[in-house]
Amino acid sequence: SQQEEESPWVLSVQEGENATMNCSYKSSTTTLQWYRQDSGKGPALVILIRANEREKHSGRLTATLDTSTKRSVLHITASQAADAATYFCATDAQ
């Protein structure tokens, strides 16, 4: 069962700036997912990173995962107006 680990991040940056969002989780996990949710829509998976991966890229998005500190960071490079959304992370913790 998936569980959301942290309150959602509402991204608010100037266009062209880099954005960083942090996520911490409690239970050990094999995968961590970052979702974005646009107003009035359901969540959409934007990046999935596995426990054995340190870093995962998807376009201008980069997710890092540190299983020792149970933290993940989502970076958005050169943010654009279309990136404005609510972002949150989830894990597959049992």
- The tens digit of pLDDT for each residue in 76-92 reads 999 888 888 888 899 98
pTM of the model: 0.82
Question: What local confidence, expressed as pLDDT, does residue 93 receive?
Answer: 65
Average pLDDT over every residue of 37-43: 91
Task: Name the percent of the chain lying above pLDDT 70.
Answer: 84
Helix, strand or coil for residue 82?
helix
CA terminus-to-terminus distance, the chain: 6
Closest CA to 91 of 39, 31, 40: 31
Q: Specify whether the CB–CB gap between 71 and 14 falls below 8 A.
A: no
- The tens digit of pLDDT for each residue in 7-26 reads 555 656 678 889 899 999 88
d(CA 27, CA 53): 17
Helix, strand or coil for residue 81?
helix
